[in-house]
Amino acid sequence: MASIFLPFFSAYLMLLLPLVVAQSSAGDIRVGRSIEATRDAKPWISPSSDFALGFHQMENDKDLFLLAIWYYKIPARTIVWYASGTKPAPRRSKAELTADRGLVLSDPRGQLIWRSEFATGDVAFARMNDTGNFVVYGGGSERLWESFENPTDTLLPTQVIQRGDKLSSRHKESNFSKGKFQFQLSEDGNVLLNTNNIVSEFFYFAYYNSGTGDQANKTNSGYQVRLDEDGSFYVLRGNNQRQSFISGDGVHYEDYYHKVTLNFDGVLTLSSYPKNPISSNGNWDVRTTIPDNICITGFNQFGSGTCGYNSICTLKPNKRPQCKCPRGYSLSDPNDEHGDCRADFMQGCEADPQSYHQGLYDLDELQNTDWPTYDQEVISPCSADACKAYCLQDCLCSVAIFNNGKDCVKKTLPLPYGRQDRQVNPIAFVKVRKAEFAHRNPPDISTVCEKRDRNSLTVLISVLLGSSMFVNFILVGVLCMASSFLYHKRVTRNHSNKNGIQSSLCFFNYKELEDATNGFDTELGRGSFGIVYKGVIKSDSRDPFEVAVKKLDRVVQDTDKEFRTEVSVIAQTHHRNLVKLLGYCDEGRYRMLVYEYMSNGTLASFLFGDPKPSWNQRTQIAVGIARGLCYLHEECSPQIIHCDIKPQNILLNDYHEARISDFGLSKLLGVDQSFTNTAIRGTKGYVAPEWFKTVPVTVKVDVYSFGVLLLEIICCRRNVEMDVSDEERVILTDWTCDCFSEGTVDALVENDAEALTEKMKLERFVMVALWCIQEDVSLRPTMKKVLLMLEEMIMVAPPPLPCPSYMLA
């Protein structure tokens, strides 16, 4: 049967064909036509020339193109639809109308980037319609695919949003990746604006809800969102009632283009543009926005809202948000104005010793400003002055919100949903570190050991804990590579002068330093490298400042060049627990290094002097030293072995923060660190046993010395003390071992009430110290692990016993 009819059928088709072609002739796109992604590729234009589909060259990368639909007559490119926003097409990609797959976007090598997805059917032609809808038609003129059914961030007149449909924001104005906001008509008939987690597509709470859903009476619920050609924008309810999003403003909008766009900042705008170019001012007029004021709208619980964390949102006249960082804060990503803000200064309980905390900060008073969530503590009733004082006294407090004379709420960073608006009543007090203290602790994000960001630290730790040694090894390697990359970047950014020494490092001549030290008259200390003098540098441009001048007495480098190379290495080693090198002098036989002055002297005098430092101060100092060492070992390239860790080489600044001095000098002084040296470096009592053996010297010698130092810090006494009542207590390391094995670590801090109240911490510190002084090098932990153990980020296992026997070198 079929064979009989076939010829007739074909003839019938032949007759039909010219009809189809005729139907698609006026500006329609036939199968096989294509556009190539180049700057001046001709787009496919709708018959009235209102809309065009073509390649839009990306602003940030001229080699990338976005397949998009835009208004052809409006000079400023306004994109209303786009394909593959996440992955724009490279230059010379091709968009082609194919018979089987409709519109296909492929890269220059023919790899598929995107295609119009439809169930089945053969494509006859496509049309860029005057409404802005790009439609792919089948042989019977049925619509196989249309851009209106696959919206991106914009709704056009005659386009309809059904239940379950949504618009998604772009990532940024000129980045078309999916952003974090969505506009949708939910299955129960509510029009919602949500933020979502881009990674998981998890919906957070709606920050707008039209309330058109009605669970009980479905016939009343919203079932479509429509934008009409006259610019009316509404939800159509089951009973055919319209619930409008705008109240009529008495203007006839027939001769305007209209569009509804979910902007990258989460604001949905209905805007209009006159079709007649004469009445146009070149801008889209925003007729309404949803929500009315995104800064004070009901974001809650998750995400950071329209601005990033710690940012403050204000509404611009066009009802779009402006995000700005408080004074003393700046954008984490300078290119992302809507991103997070980060303090330019260090703050928090670890950065500031308790007793000095208050004087370090100013409070900025911001009227009509609030961060409404994440309350830490509420004080009520409270006066403004008391509120300020509460925040200044509390090292955890970064911001205090003062409510109308009623109460005071302390808050800790990071804070979302910051806002400043006339409708907002509270006053925000923002703590900003005083300029003179800010530079002492420059933020140093590149240091792994230093990670302040709680989240990433937790992730790091949980990864470290939950993975094998091998993975840890790789991970630490990657982190070190990443940080050394940042480190190098930072170094290269500081312009070097022709000697290869950073220009931030000052060169001094002998005369200048002689004057500064008043003829080298005040001696601060003597070390293995020479004598240290106190000095004052005076200059016209800034206030006089105190320095420590180290006169090196046995530098081996012959040439100035080598000396300068070494100095520049030290100068590039920055960390808040290292003494900073400010300048140098190499004139004739004089070689001197100029360091920042540490007003509180050495740890030795603090620890063994009178009165004794508190337990809290001591533990903070110990952690600070561990951080500094961790930095030298893990993040410097080449790695720096200190070789002489002892209380005399730890200096204390104005706030009794520990700074390690004398690092990086070994090479300068010709000490070969790779193998045992006849001249043992280090100091009696602190040197590791392997100095006496023919094994390579590694960073673990510092770990050993740190262990001894840690015990001294815990017990506030020297490792070897002859005039003690009990002979067993002469050598601290031995005595600690005894105490630990007998379970009497309390005895180590006998008269220290504060330490005795923190028994767990005491035991942890003692165990860490015992791990550090293991004779077997391989048993000693790395400084990184030491730091994690001290900070209670990982568990400390009981150290192996019997203890190493102390070596009197």
Cβ neighbours of residue 789 under 8 Å, at least 6 residues apart?
764, 767, 768, 771, 781, 795, 796
Q: Do strands 175-185 and 166-172 pair parallel, antiparallel, or not at all (unpaired)?
A: antiparallel
Q: Is the peptide bond before 291 cis (omega within 30 degrees of 0)?
A: yes
Which letter does DSSP use for residue 799 in this model? P
590-596 and 329-331 strand pairing: unpaired
Considering only residues 416-435, where is the footprint of ligand NAG by CB under 6 A? none
DSSP H or E run through 714 = helix 700-715
* Catalytic-role residue among 444, 644, 662, 702: 644
d(CA 136, CA 124): 8
Please say whether the beta carbons of 667 and 566 come within 8 A. Answer: yes
- Pick between residue 258 and residue 575 the one whose CB is nearest to ligand NAG: 258
Query: Cα(630)–Cα(786) distance, rounded to whole angstroms?
Result: 9
**Near ligand NAG by CB under 6 A, which window of 117-125, 214-222, 431-439, 791-799?**
214-222
CB 134 within 8 A of CB 82: no
Q: Does 496 bind ligand NAG (CB under 6 A)?
A: no
Among 92, 171, 324, 574, binds ligand NAG (CB under 6 A): 171
Binding of ligand NAG by 60 (CB under 6 A): yes
Nearer to ligand NAG, 143 or 612 (CB): 143
Q: Which two tokens stand for residue 461?
A: 């730790």
Residue 56, judged by CB atoms within 10 A of its CB (0-12, 13-18, 19+), counts as buried
Q: How far apart are CA 117 and CA 104, in angstroms?
A: 9
* Number of shown-chain residues binding ligand NAG (CB under 6 A): 14
Q: Where are the alpha helices (DSSP H) in 102-203?
A: none
Per-residue tokens: 536:
């004052």
Q: Any idea what DSSP says for residue 573? A: -
Provide the residue count of the chain: 809
* Residue 217 engages ligand NAG in binding (rule: CB under 6 A): yes
Q: By CB under 6 A, tell whether 175 contacts ligand NAG.
A: yes
Q: How far is CA 136 from CA 27, 83, 102, 125, 789, in A?
A: 14, 15, 7, 6, 64
Cβ neighbours for 368, distance < 8 A, ≥ 6 positions apart: 420, 421, 422, 423, 424, 425, 426, 427
Minimum CB distance to ligand NAG smaller for 121 or for 291? 121
3-state SS, residue 270: strand
Question: What dihedral do alpha carbons 526, 527, 529, 532 form, nearest 10°?
Answer: -40
Helix (H, G, I), strand (E, B) or coil at 277: helix
Q: Please report the beta strands in 230-295, taking only residues with DSSP state E, as ranges in sequence order.
A: 233-237, 242-244, 256-262, 268-274, 285-290
Between the two ends of the chain, the Cα-to-Cα distance in Å is 109
Look at residues 684, 682, 734, 692 and name the one whose alpha carbon lies nearest to residue 711. Answer: 734
**How far, CA to CA in Å, does 115 sit from each of 145, 235, 633?**
10, 31, 53
Indicate the Cα dihedral angle 268, 274, 277, 278, nearest 10°: -130
Rounded CA separation 172/85 (Å) = 11
- Please tell me whether 73 is known to bind a ligand: no
Interacting positions 109-148 with ligand NAG (CB under 6 A): 129-131, 133, 135
**Counting contacts by CB under 6 A, is residue 219 touching ligand NAG?**
yes
Scanning the structure block, which residue is given the tokens 């296992």?
797
Site residues (CB under 6 A) for ligand NAG, limited to 236-255: 239
Residue of the chain from 220, 280, 600, 676 that contacts ligand NAG (CB under 6 A): 220
The question of whether 50 is a catalytic residue gets the answer no
Closer to ligand NAG by CB, 4 or 119: give it: 119
Integer-rounded Cα radius of gyration of the chain: 35
Question: Residue 127 belongs to what H/E stretch?
Answer: strand 123-128
Instruction: Measure the CA–CA gap between 226 and 155, rounded to whole angstroms.
Output: 8
**Which of 541, 563, 550 lies closest to 516, judged by CA?**
550
- Least separation in angstroms between residue 451's CB and ligand NAG is 22
Distance in Å, CB of 145 to ligand NAG, minimum: 11
Question: How far is it, in rounded angstroms, from Cα 758 to Cα 752?
Answer: 10
Rounded Cα distance, 304 and 294, in Å: 12
Q: What is the contact mask toward ligand NAG in residues 718 to 757, using x (rule: CB under 6 A)?
A: ----------------------------------------
The answer to whether residues 417 and 389 touch, using CB atoms and an 8 Å cutoff, is: no
* Binding-site residue ranges: 551
**List of residues contacting ligand NAG (CB under 6 A):** 60, 88, 129-131, 133, 135, 171, 175, 177, 217, 219-220, 239
* Binding-site residue ranges for ATP: 551
| Residues assigned a catalytic role | 644
